[in-house]
Structures are given as structure tokens and as C-alpha cells.
Amino acid sequence: MTNKKLIIVLLGIILVASFLRFYKLSHNPPSLTWDEVAWGYNAYSLGIDGRDEFGRFLPLDYIESFGDFKPPMYAYLDILPVKIFGLNEFAVRFPSAFFGILTVVMTYFLVRRLFHPRGVPQAGRQTSQPRLTAAQHHLGGAETLALFSAFFLAISPWHINLSRAAFEANVATFFIVLGFFLFLHAISSRGVASFPPRRWNSIDTSGVSLVVATISFALSMYTFNTARIVTPLIVLVLAIGFRHQLLRMKKRVAVAFLTGIILVVPLFQFLITPQAQLRFHEVNIFSDIGVIERTNQEMENDNNAWWSKIIHNRRFAYSVEYLKHYFDNLNPSFLFIKGDGNPKFSTQDVGSLYLWDFPFFVLGILFLFRQRIAHWWIVPAWMIIAIIPAATARETPHALRIEAALPTFQIFTAYGVFTFISAVSKIPPSLKLWRAGKHLKFFIVFFVFSLLFLNFTYYLDGYYAHYPREYSGEWQYGYKDVISYVKSVEGQYDKVYFTESLGRPYIYFLFYTQYDPKKFRQEALVERETFGFVHVNGFDKYRFVRDVKSNAGSSERVLYVDTPANAPESAQILKNFYLLNGEKTLAAYTL
């Protein structure tokens, strides 16, 4: 493939990825979750006075949100979009969509670097360059494989879903992919043809690339909690796999290592605090007392025999539980049929991957392990590592927590398609299975990709035509309309009591009213629990309560907002609010 054709195809893939991530971004998903709203408001606050929602100045270790201590990177990346586009849905989701597109682009360059026969010196002591088969040369080799990988990521339902909402995991994935590419570039013996142009190949950029790779990996750890485990393991595996090359560039490695240490010191200082461990203790399987109770009961059933204490040891039981949760993330139903059980991460009728991907995914794994081209081992190692931290969670499978595994799934699928087309290309022209025998190769490939098009079309129809209506409640739909109404009539009331039954209403009021962060910090009625959870019970004339009815009967003029089922019979309903499926979600009333 000529450079001109290559650029045209790559630009086409980027345009497809951009359209799929930005089209109707403000309206689908149908509303912002409380985490998205928190990102937006914290970015808004940081952009005003450099302080987060609760007044911490330029926080580097965490941003506190609902008692969760989130890595701060997404909020910083969202400052500029909020400044440019305003405090709205598009601005909040812009970083995720934008970095999702960049991940598609970097996937092309990374895969090209991974599988190009001259791209990277072989790991270890081996100095001979790996060769591609004749069929692979015929198809354009690494370029074709890289284009397939980027294309499959561009149309991936998994990656599209997570790129269209403010999921910090999606940004962390970009930093990991970029870190991989820059690391491989740093240890390259020479550049790859075309990218960059030959006249640049004489310039030694390995030291800079290694430092920037370190920075990129570090940024992933400041973006999403899972990356704090995945990224160090990835760096360790790369260091071991390319130890001989790294030993030949000691000074550059030392500079990169020192850079990494400086960058992660604030992070590690936070990780040893109780706040950092709060979220882990809340969701991990090792804090599940039920496992210990079950093993104790099993030992008691065996009259506490010595052998029973061995086979029913709680450590063994937790290990089994961990493995079960690990392989849940590779469940075929999750991957190819229904996707994640949480509607925020899946349309529920299309898998994280397409059903079409299944045979090529399996084929890609088999042939990649068989042919072992260039640095093939990085792909399975990456996938295995990326699932490790997610398997400690009680809720599995989980598309968000294992997103760091992307684009390995797409690379395997691309390799399977690559192998399939290689096999089809070997069909003799003289083979005539029907009248159009000379066009057999074309018809086979056309038929296979037509099935992908149908699968892709089915996903898009579900995502845009059915998904918003069916799952608007999962996205806290209704808050925007309710708050707009409350703002229009609040001058008539002394207090507004708002239900917490839909979760975190205070942050929606801050967001949709663009409330002054400085004023909020002065007025906020904040309640902090022993274990670190934080509740904002009110500010200004707004009060956020679990039970609205218990606050009825005040002599003040009060507007109540609650779920219709909880409104008392004596309530005078002023306005009902509905989900997109027509179901009532909230009601504003007086007594």
C-alpha cells in the first residue's frame, strides 16, 4: 500500500471514529451521571480559582467526590472544554470522546510498531530481525494489520460506549497505549519507513521518547484507579522483556526512572492513607466475610479434621474466588452477546465485542501464538495484566475496570481477520465453485464484512433509537428538567426540599445553576462520616434529604420534590417529570 493510500485509509478511520464518538454527544447517553456532573463542576471550580469543589488548591493526589477519592486528571483535562463550550454535557464528555479518538490513532502506530519486521529489535539477546510470511508481505504486512486494529477499535461498541461518557478509564487507556508506543520507539534500533520520514531516522530520539513514555504511564495512574496497578505491572514486564536493550542505554533509563519517581511520589504518599484504601475495601472480594463463614462451616461439617483445615482454608477459598472473578471478564456472553450487565457500559443486546468478532478473535489468538511475529508476546501479556485488578472486585465482569485491556481484543481480532484474508488470497484462480469462480475471493471477503456491517448497524440502531428510551433512568434522567423548573419558581419559596432517592442531587444543582464555587464552600452543610463518606445536606435555600415527607409541616413556604410514589395524598402536584419511556420519575408539589 502506497503512503498516499495509507494516509487516506487512516484518515477515513479517524473520521469514522470521530463521528461515532461526537455525534449527538450531548444527548446520548441521555443524561449525565453524578460522576460526570462532579467532573464538570470540579473542572469549572478549578478553572475559576484553582480549587476543587471542597476548596483544595490544585489537588494532585485526589479529588474528593461523594466520599470517593478519585484521581484528578480528568478534571484538569476538562477545564479547557468547560471554558470553551460552557458548563454543559458536551464539555464534560469532550475529553473522553477526544482521547477515545486519539486512542484509535495511537493503536495504528502501536500495532505497526509491534509487528513491523524492522520496527523494533527483538526482545532479549536475539539480534536477527523477525520476518513476515509471503502472504503477509503480499497484504502489506504490519500496515494492514495496524489499519484493521485501528478500524475495529473505531467501531467497537465497548470503546464507543465508554468514549461517549465522562469515564476517566477511557482517558487512562489512551495514556497506556501512548506509553507503549513511545517505549517501543525508544528502544528501536531505527525508525520505521514512512512514519516518521526517512530524513528523521538519523535523529536519536530514544532518550526523549523514553522520558515521555514514563510521563504518559505516570499520567495514566493519575487518571484511573485501575491504572495504579496495571501500569506498574506493564512497566515491569516491558523492563524484563527488553532488559538487554535497556542495559545498553543506561543513562537514558536512569533519567526516565528518576522522572517516574518524581512524578509518582505524590501519588504513593496518598496511596498509603486510609482514604485511598476506602474504595478498595468497599468493593473487593477479600472483605467479603461470607467466604470465611462458609469455610468455617465446611470445616465444622468435617468435625474440624486436619485435612479439612487444608482444603477449606480461607486463603485457598479466596484464591478460587479471585480466579472465578478473573475469568468472568472473559465470559463469552459478556464479550460477544450481552456485554456488561450495567447499562451504563452496554446496550444490553450487543456484547462488548461484536458477535462477528468471535471466530476471528479465536483465530487471531491461535495464529499469533503459532507464528509469533515480532513482539507478539506483548499483546497477550497486556491483556492478562489488565484484568488482574478488576478480578478483585465483587462486581464482575466489568467493562470499565478492564478497559485498560483495549485494544488487545481488537488486535487479536485484526490478526484473525488478517490470517483469514491471507488464506483466502491463496485460493487458486482456477478454482470454480460456481460461474463466478474467478471472483470467489472477492465474494468471500465481501460476505464476511457484510455480516460485520449488519452487526454494526444493529448496534447503532439499538444505541440511538432504543437505548436512550429504555435506560434513561440509569443515567439519572430528569434532574436537568427538575432543576430548571425549580429555578424558575424558587423565588416563591423559602426552602426547597429535594429527595436523595435518585442519588447526589446537590451536585446537579451546582452544575446546572453554575453555582459560584466560592459561595458554595461558605454555605455548604457538609456531613462527613467516620469512614470518609461525605454528604452535602444543603446550601442556599436547598435541602437534600432522604425522606422528604418527614420534613413536611413547616410554617415556611416550601417546595417539595420527591418521587411520585412518596408524595403524600394531600400534596398539590405542581409538575410531574418523566423518563424518556414515559415513566414518572419526580414530582414537584406543595402542601
User: Residue 527 pairs with which residues in a beta bridge?
Assistant: 535
CA 63 to chain centre: 18
CB atoms under 10 Å from CB of 200, counted, come to: 10
Residues above pLDDT 90, as percent of the chain: 70
Q: Using pLDDT thresholds of 50, 70 and 90, give the confidence band for residue 280.
A: low
Which of residues 152 and 300 earns the better pLDDT score?
152
What number is the average pLDDT over the span 210-227?
Answer: 96
pLDDT at 477 over 80: yes
Residue given cell 496495571 in the structure block: 230
Which of residues 470 and 551 earns the better pLDDT score?
470
Q: Is 52 helix (H, G, I), strand (E, B) or coil?
A: coil
pLDDT for the residue 140: 58
Say if CB 36 and CB 92 are below 8 A apart. Answer: yes
C-alpha pair distances (Å), 299 with each of 164, 319, 320, 532: 50, 17, 17, 37
pLDDT for the residue 15: 98
Q: Using pLDDT thresholds of 50, 70 and 90, give the confidence band for residue 67.
A: confident
| Residue 65 main-chain phi, psi, to 5 deg | -150, 110
pLDDT at 126 over 50: no
Q: Is 345 helix (H, G, I), strand (E, B) or coil?
A: coil
Whole-number Å distance between alpha carbons of 525 and 539:
6
pLDDT for the residue 304: 78
Whole-number Å distance between alpha carbons of 178 and 234:
13
- All residues at 6 or more sequence positions from 144 whose CB lies less than 8 Å from its CB, including other chains: 1, 418
| Residue 397 main-chain phi, psi, to 5 deg | -70, 165
C-alpha pair distances (Å), 228 with each of 73, 83, 293, 379, 401: 13, 29, 31, 20, 12
Q: Using pLDDT thresholds of 50, 70 and 90, give the confidence band for residue 500.
A: very high
Q: Do strands 525-528 and 495-499 pair parallel, antiparallel, or not at all (unpaired)?
A: unpaired
C-alpha pair distances (Å), 371 with each of 88, 254, 302, 458: 50, 35, 51, 34
Lowest mean pLDDT among 188-197, 422-431, 441-450: 188-197
Angle of the 142-154 helix axis to the 3-22 helix axis, nearest 10 = 10
- All residues at 6 or more sequence positions from 459 whose CB lies less than 8 Å from its CB, including other chains: 157, 347, 350, 354
261 grid coordinates = 519517581
pLDDT at 401 over 50: yes
Which of residues 1 and 339 earns the better pLDDT score?
339
pLDDT for the residue 433: 52
432 grid coordinates = 470454480
Residue given cell 485498560 in the structure block: 404
Q: Using pLDDT thresholds of 50, 70 and 90, give the confidence band for residue 554.
A: low
Say if CB 513 and CB 505 are below 8 A apart. Answer: no
- Which spans in 63-138 are helix H? 73-77, 79-85, 89-115, 134-138
pLDDT at 11 over 70: yes
325 grid coordinates = 472473578
Stated length of the chain = 591
What number is the average pLDDT over the span 524-542?
Answer: 85
CB atoms under 10 Å from CB of 288, counted, come to: 13
- DSSP string across 450-517: HHHHHHHHHHHHIIIIIHHHHHGGGGTTTHHHHHHHHHHHGGG-SEEEEE-TTS-HHHHHHHHTT--H
Vertex 414 angle, CA 412 and 416, to 5°? 70
Lowest mean pLDDT among 6-20, 203-217, 341-355, 457-471: 203-217
Largest CA distance in the chain: 93
Lowest mean pLDDT among 105-119, 456-470, 496-510: 105-119
Residue given cell 460476505 in the structure block: 447
| Residue 225 main-chain phi, psi, to 5 deg | -60, -40
- All residues at 6 or more sequence positions from 513 whose CB lies less than 8 Å from its CB, including other chains: 483, 487
Query: What is the dihedral angle through the alpha carbons of 551, 553, 559, 561, rounded to the nearest 10 degrees?
Result: 40
pLDDT at 487 over 90: yes
Average pLDDT, the chain: 88
Q: Using pLDDT thresholds of 50, 70 and 90, give the confidence band for residue 269.
A: confident
pLDDT at 555 over 70: no
CB atoms under 10 Å from CB of 197, counted, come to: 10
Task: For residue range 305-354, list pLDDT tens digits in order.
Answer: 877 777 777 778 888 889 999 999 999 999 999 999 999 999 999 999 99
Vertex 21 angle, CA 18 and 26, to 5°? 125
What number is the average pLDDT over the span 450-454?
Answer: 96
Whole-number Å distance between alpha carbons of 392 and 272:
19
pLDDT at 483 over 60: yes
What number is the average pLDDT over the span 267-287?
Answer: 73
What number is the average pLDDT over the span 380-402?
Answer: 94
pLDDT for the residue 443: 86
What number is the average pLDDT over the span 226-249?
Answer: 95
Which of residues 174 and 274 earns the better pLDDT score?
174
Whole-number Å distance between alpha carbons of 272 and 293:
29
